[in-house]
Amino acid sequence: MLITKPIGGRPYGRGNIIKQPLERAEPMLCWSVSVRSSANSLRVNDQVLYSFSLILLATLSSLNSHSSVVGATGAVAQYNTADCRTLLTVKSQLSDPLGGALSSWSNKSLHCCEWHGVTCGMQHPNRVTSLDLDSYGIIGTISPYIANLTFLRRIHLPNNQLHGHIPRELGHLSRLRYLNLSMNSLEGELPPTLSHCSLLQTISLRDNKLQGPIPSNLSHCLNLEIVSLSNNMFAGEIPTGFGSLPSLFACVLSNNNLTGGIPPLLGSISSSINYIDLSNNALIGDIPPSIGSGASLTHLYLSSNKLEGVIPVSLDSCSSLSYLDLSNNNLNGSIPPLLGSISSSIYYVDLSNNALTGNVPPTIGSGASLTYLDLSSNELEGVIPISLGSCSSLWVSQFIKK
């Protein structure tokens, strides 16, 4: 699977709105009671009437305990309206200037499972399982009462104008698997309570104004596959536990104020790790050798940090690597001899603005797909490898600073 930089929260396919089946009301039975002189006969008919009264009372009580929508045909749909009331509370803190997102949320002729952007479940047809409102220009704050939608599995609200804090109450959503609030104006810290969402697979909060540390207990969500927190103001160290997430596919933490070192196990525990972007932070120390242990790694961006030491030889084993950007660091030593020939699909290599020395490896042009190579602003010497002549797609090649 190939991901082009940067990762955004790609919406999953929307599920169909599941409606509660309409049930026709049972026809009222007509009872005729004949008056007879026999006392026994009267007692029998009295018992019948009494039994029928109990049945009718139970039926009316059942109907009154639910909300009902009555159509022109007399069909009745029975609903639990708790989630509908919660959605109206959530809406009360939002405005919809374009009028295309929330206008149906006040239409009482529709059950909330039919409102725009709302999906209800299959096993529980009247419970809200997904909110999908992408790029509608919605303004406002996220109500903490959203946590009352206890069947929510998916929250997809990117590219709006949401502001304020992320409610800590989201941690009560035990069924939540997908959270995308990217490209808004949310601020404050990431609530540690999100670690209670043990089924969480995707968290995308990029392009906001979030700050403070990334909660270390977020790594307790062992099902995490995508962590996208780029373009915020997060500070502190990358949680060490991120290196132990067994299903991690993409870790995107670029353009923050992160410090400390790269977690030593990142890229080695998960055989499925595909995309790592830690660029434009203030990370220090060596690049851990284990980062090249992931055979599925295709994108590695560590540029514009304060990394030092040598380029790990272990990167030679990344047979799927397509993008490698280690530019603008303090790396020294020589370029690993097999770099460039490790993958027939590698087409972007940027090692510029470091302190690399020695010769350019003759194999660096062995990857026929190489299209971009920048080794400028280093202390390299020797000749340009002849192998670069076989890179028919190469369109940018820099060896000296222009």
153-207 pLDDT, tens per residue?
999 999 999 999 999 999 999 999 999 999 999 999 999 999 999 999 999 999 9
Say if residue 342's pLDDT is above 70: no
Say if residue 282's pLDDT is above 90: yes
User: Across residues 95-106, what is the average pLDDT?
Assistant: 90
CATH of domain 80-398: 3.80.10.10
124-149 pLDDT, tens per residue?
888 999 999 999 999 999 999 999 99
Say if residue 386's pLDDT is above 50: yes
User: Across residues 30-41, what is the average pLDDT?
Assistant: 35
Better-scored residue on pLDDT, 129 or 360: 129
Q: 6-20, 199-213, 271-285: which range is least confident on average?
A: 6-20
Determine whether 157 is exposed, middle or buried from the number of CB atoms within 10 Å of its CB (0-12, 13-18, 19+). Answer: buried
Whole-angstrom CA distances from 3 to 39, 235, 246, 323, 352 are 87, 26, 20, 10, 23
The 10 Å Cβ neighbour count of residue 389 is 10
Better-scored residue on pLDDT, 33 or 212: 212
- Residue 65's pLDDT band, with cuts at 50, 70 and 90, is very low
- The per-residue pLDDT for 291 is 84
- The per-residue pLDDT for 356 is 96
- The per-residue pLDDT for 57 is 40
- Which amino acid does the sequence have at 398? Q
Size of the chain, expressed as the number of residues it contains: 402
Domain locations in the chain as residue ranges:
40-78, 80-398
- Residue 49's pLDDT band, with cuts at 50, 70 and 90, is very low
The end-to-end CA distance of the chain, in Å, is 35
User: Across residues 323-345, what is the average pLDDT?
Assistant: 84
Q: How far apart are CA 267 and CA 272, in angstroms?
A: 9
- Residue 402's pLDDT band, with cuts at 50, 70 and 90, is low
- The per-residue pLDDT for 268 is 62
Task: Tell me the two tokens of residue 380.
Answer: 């390299």
Task: Tell me the two tokens of residue 65.
Answer: 């305990």
Q: How far apart are CA 50 and CA 53, in angstroms?
A: 5
Say if residue 381's pLDDT is above 60: yes
- Residue 271's pLDDT band, with cuts at 50, 70 and 90, is low
Which residue carries 């007399």 as its tokens?
74
- The per-residue pLDDT for 382 is 86
Q: 19-28, 222-231, 393-402: which range is least confident on average?
A: 19-28
